[in-house]
Amino acid sequence: MKKLNFCIKGSKKTGQQFIDETISMAAQVSSIEINCNYPQSDDFDMELNFLKKAKKKFNLSYVIHAPYLNSSLGDFNQELRDDAIAEIFRSIDRAVFLGSNMVTIHPPFDPYGIYFREKEDIELDTYKQIATYAAARNIRIGLENEAQTCFFFPDRACKFELIKKVVETVNMKNFGYTLDLGHGNITGIDIEHSIREASSKLFHIHAHDNFGEKEDLHLAPGDGNIHWNNVLMTLNATGYDQLFEIETSLENFIKGRAYISKVSKK
CATH at residue 12: 3.20.20.150
Q: What pLDDT does 1 receive?
A: 66
- Is the pLDDT at 266 greater than 80, yes or no? no
Global pTM reads 0.97
At residue 111, the pLDDT reads 87
Task: Tally the domains of the chain.
Answer: 1
Q: CA of 51: how far to CAs of 33, 44, 48, 54, 94, in Å?
A: 11, 11, 5, 5, 11
- Give the distance, in angstroms, between the CA of residue 68 and the centroid of all CA atoms in the same chain: 11
pLDDT tens, 25-44?
A: 999 999 999 999 999 988 99
Give me the domain span that covers residue 185: 5-264
In 3D space, the residue among 176, 169, 73, 54 whose CA is nearest the CA of residue 123 turns out to be 73
- Mean of the pLDDT values across residues 122-134? 98
Beta bridge partners of 105: 143
The pLDDT mean for the chain works out to 96
Residue 188 gets the label, from left (phi > 0), alpha (psi -120 to 50) or beta, of: left
Q: Which residues pair with 8 in a beta bridge?
A: 32, 246
Beta partners for residue 148, in sequence order? none
Question: Which of 109-113, 194-198, 201-205, 219-223 is least confident?
Answer: 109-113
For residue 39, say if its preceding peptide bond is cis, omega within 30 degrees of 0: yes
Residue 167 pLDDT > 70: yes
3-state secondary structure of 116: coil
Q: Is the predicted pLDDT of residue 70 greater than 80, yes or no?
A: no
Residue that wins the pLDDT comparison between 131 and 266 = 131
The arithmetic mean of pLDDT across residues 132-151, rounded, is 97
